[in-house]
Chain A
Amino acid sequence: MLTSEPPYRDPAVLSAIEPGDVTAAPPDVSQEIRPLTNHSSPGHSKPRKAFPVLGIDYTHVRIPFEISLWILLACLMKLGFHVIPSVSNIVPESCLLIVVGLLVGGLIKGVGESPPILKSDIFFLFLLPPIILDAGYFLPLRQFTENLGTILIFAVVGTLWNAFFLGGLMYAVCQISGTGLNHIGLLANLLFGSIISAVDPVAVLAVFEEIHINELLHILVFGESLLNDAVTVVLYHLFEEYANFDQVTVTDIVLGFLSFFVVSLGGVFVGVVYGVIAAFTSRFTSHIRVIEPLFVFLYSYMAYLSAELFHLSGIMALIASGVVMRPYVEANISHKSHTTIKYFLKMWSSVSETLIFIFLGVSTVAGQHYWNWTFVISTLIFCLIARVLGVLGLTWFINKFRIVKLTPKDQFIIAYGGLRGAIAFSLGYLLDYEHFGMRDMFLTAIITVIFFTVFVQGMTIRPLVDLLAVKKKQETKRSINEEIHTQFLDHLLTGIEDICGHYGHHHWKDKLNRFNKKYMKKCLIAGERSKEPQLIAFYHKMEMKQAIELVESGGLGKIPSAISTVSMQNINPKALPVERILPALSKDKEEEIRKILRNNLQKTRQRLRSYNRHTLVADPYEEAWNQMLLRRQKARQLEQKMNNFLTVPSHKLDSPTMSRARIGSDPLAYEPKSDSENLPIITIDPASPQSPESVDLVNEELKGMSRLPPSPEEEEEEGLVMHVKESSSPGTDDVFTPGAGDSPSNQRMMRCLSDPGPRPAPEEGEPFIPKGQ
């Protein structure tokens, strides 16, 4: 097969080429200057060449150079398409990329070189896995398992139907005299049918990504394209083996049937094993976070290769390993690693997809074609008919068992979305000439079908979706409410099922979850997180996400409105019964004070923000920092007991000066508790905001409190220990002075001096500013 493609793709061949062999290199390779090494001269009789200052050695870097050039071309193309938005709205990216491939192929051919063809090895070993891993790792598991029955029926029965229907009909066509196709036997036709009948995940992904169709349809077509790999593998090998014998015995059929189960279940098993190993490994990576993503990629790739090793379904192994490892790995790895994994997978799959489509175009130009009108046209027509009939028939059968029936609109989209792609091409390419002389004709037909489905169906599916008003994907943000409700509903339905005695979907899911919690999580998740229930994990994830969003947006941008205006005050204004303060340790008193202060400071800070943004010139970094602290403070506050000793209700905000005046002048606002000998009294001088004197005042008061026994946490005490800052000047929000105690409340304490504090309602108990100062 070396004659049909240039040798540069095959490293084994290249190594056989001597470095000085100019004929193997493309014409633009200039002379190589090998100073001194190749000289076989015995002595110094050869004239000395001048020392080469500049030299060119192309063959040395040839392979990586050309590979990089191709990838760079792919990326630049992707870039280019998005610069011109009008084109990408009408034509899906895959079409544009094929056209680019055609152009590039034509260009190379025009120059006189033979353009590279997409070799099957390269495709199956390097280009396909990233796409499948990306799909498998981020598979929406809930929808997938809910529709698993439907997907399996479409994948297995649908593909079988397609293959046999198409193969049989093509055989019939070949028998028609006058077409010149009589030499193609039944099995060869069936083989052809099995190659062309599989829906291609790459093409489906490429087209469906852009049309944002509703999740049900997306998962049906996409799931089908993933799971039909097992069927394709079995059929392909079966027919390839026996195509030349023109007769298949019953034993072979039975064996083929068996091998289907072996291939699919074996692939899944391999994937699960690698997934569990990966999850287990990730348990111990807490000290070397940097290589965590690499484990995910390597284990998945090994799963794929191991499955391919045994002729099992590599795609199913890859999907299974991604699905199995994901929940455990995500619980173990750091957030950055998670982001890295996400971005690397997206990047690789994106580049792979682009390269595949470009190479499809190039291969079309480069390959040898044999065009036979009858064969090609009839293939095309029968493909479409087979798909439509298959979908219709299967849906009629499936709808008997589904709760949510598939409407005719859905069926149309499923049938129309059955795109063929590069897998079919590569499988066809793998056929060898000796056994399959009509390989070129097959390839031509395959390419025609691919072009048709990608161009015609790919381009028209979007206007059709709009025309038929198919439900689109709803961009809903996952909210904590939804999570609570969904879990509640799950438990409720499980309970009802148990009461009915019906061991249905929910019952088994619940059993699996319990098994998971009891055994798997303990082994595979590190540390405390193994016991974390799903709701808590979800909540933490959301809080984290919001905090990161806030910091990233710089704090100046739009703050999620859910958080900014609705605070605890809005939903829980009633004072919880004031607990009589038992003669507790002063540590508790400190806690109280701290909480009160935080409560008040945080609220006023919140409100004052609106003034700050417009009136004061705020340093953006500092603003973001403050926001971050605010958010964290809020989060911490939420986690504390709400049985605060004081819940100070808010009041209408006056201007800062007014409030300050009010506090200063209203001696009756606060009364110290009678039994509060241990209460450290904090005196606040409202007159001079943030002046060092007022700080001293507070400090001295505190220092004078001998009744305050030193507790171990006073060192890092956040509310009551004040370091005097000599360099502070009034009016600056000096957040970053080192040594000022970098606890957030410390800084807030500073601000307290200028912020108004809310007044407690008269019936509130615990004051914090003593009467009469």
Chain B
Amino acid sequence: MGSSNSMPEEIQELADKTGFTLEQIEHLHRRFKQISGDQPTIRKESFDRIPDLEFNPIRSKIVRAFFDKRNLRQASVGLTDEINFEDFLTIMSYFRPIEMNMDEEQLDHFRKEKLKFLFHMYDSDNDGKITLHEYRKVVEELLSGNPHLEKESARSIADGAMMEAASICVGQMEPDQVYEGITFEDFLKMWQGIDIDTKMHVRFLNMEPIAHCH
């Protein structure tokens, strides 16, 4: 969809599939073109054009999430090399705010989708659970903005968090029981206290174009 005269039917199709309004799709399309430099697809390197992303400690995970096949609702696993506008919209649709006209079931499904997106970001090796190693990596990345910090601090935090998760999800454990990792169900349990529906959203109402794009 690199051409500027986009067909209304295609847009309507996209709107139905992803749930965005026509206006939002127009906005996002403009943005997509800016990121991709008018190419039909974007690659990982295209995200370097966004200067503000530099400061983000979990930058690599975010960029990776765009190319994660599980998020793109494809059958296989792994990373794809480039994504087109439809894929871009699919990823963005995870961040739609909830709407008043959703019923309980839709809300629940929506919520699970968002949490699954998050889960995939933590679980980098696609094995369905977040192991201690992966969790440590997450914490290390979160703290990566502080270069002088020792790795041990990140590790001890991750260890403590993992122990807490184990005790929440499994309860009392015998000394020789092993807690493999956080599965998706456990993940859901941990997020019960935090209201994901209201937090994980971005307003798509008005967006400003990037002022500079090399």
Residues of A within 8 A of B (CB): 403-405, 474, 476, 479-482, 484-489, 491-507, 510, 514, 531, 533, 535-536, 539, 543, 561-563, 565-573, 603, 607, 638-642, 649-653
A86 to chain B, nearest CB (A): 33
Give the complex CA separation of A397 and B34 in angstroms: 35
13 additional contacts, CB 8 Å, given A502-B208, A568-B163, A642-B159? A482-B194, A488-B58, A491-B62, A495-B58, A499-B31, A531-B146, A533-B146, A536-B143, A539-B160, A565-B167, A565-B173, A567-B163, A570-B177
Please determine whether A638 and B121 come into contact, CB atoms closer than 8 angstroms. no
Q: Residues of A contacting B143 with CB < 8 Å?
A: 533, 535-536
A660 to B162, CA, bound (A): 33
Given A476-B193, A488-B138, A491-B58, decide whether A498 and B161 contact each other with a Cβ distance below 8 A.
no
Interface centre among A488, A501, A567, A653 (most CB of B within 10 A): A501
| CA of A504 to CA of B207, assembled, Å | 9
Inter-chain contact A565/B172, CB cutoff 8 Å: yes
Which residue on chain B has the smallest CB distance to residue A641? Answer: B152
Closest approach, in angstroms, between the C-beta of A599 and any C-beta of chain B?
Answer: 13
Question: Chain B 44-80, CB within 8 Å of chain A: the 1/0 string?
Answer: 0001001011011111001000000000000000000
A-B contact pairs, 18 of them (CB 8 A): A403-B97, A404-B198, A476-B193, A481-B168, A482-B194, A484-B157, A493-B200, A496-B95, A500-B202, A502-B204, A505-B203, A533-B149, A563-B163, A566-B167, A571-B159, A571-B179, A642-B159, A650-B176
User: Are B163's CB and A499's CB within 8 A?
Assistant: no
Closest to B210 in A: A501
Taking CB atoms, residues of chain A closer than 8 Å to B52 are 498, 507
Instruction: Determine if B57 and A496 form an interchain contact, defined as CB atoms under 8 angstroms apart.
Output: no
B62 touches A474 (CB 8 A): no
> For B139, what are the chain A residues with a Cβ–Cβ distance below 8 Å?
484, 535
* Nearest 10 A/B pairs, CB to CB: A562-B167, A498-B52, A495-B62, A638-B156, A502-B207, A476-B193, A480-B161, A650-B175, A565-B172, A566-B163
CB contact under 8 A between A510 and B55, given known A484-B161, A485-B191, A571-B166:
yes
Say which residue of A474, A533, A563, A639 sits within 8 Å of B152 (CB atoms).
A639
Count of residues in B whose CB is under 8 Å from the partner chain: 71
Q: Is A570 a contact of B173 with CB atoms below 8 Å?
A: yes
Select which of A503, A506, A642 is within 8 A of B208 by beta carbon. Answer: A503
Alpha-carbon separation in the docked complex, A653 to B175 (Å): 9
For the complex formed, measure the closest distance between the CB of A568 and the CB atoms of chain B, giving whole angstroms.
7
A502 to B92 Cα, complex, angstroms: 13
Are the C-beta atoms of A491 and B167 separated by less than 8 Å? Answer: no
Q: A342 CA to B60 CA in the complex, in Å?
A: 41
Q: Which residue of A lies closest to B203 (CB)?
A: A504
**Pick from A480, A494, A514: contact of B157, CB under 8 Å:** A480
| Contact (Cβ within 8 A) B175 A479 | no
> Is B116 at the interface (CB under 8 A from chain A)?
no
Quick check: B156 and A492 within 8 Å, CB to CB? no
Name A502's contact: one of B56, B166, B171, B206 (CB within 8 Å).
B206
Q: How far is the CA of A638 from the CA of B52 in the complex (A)?
A: 35
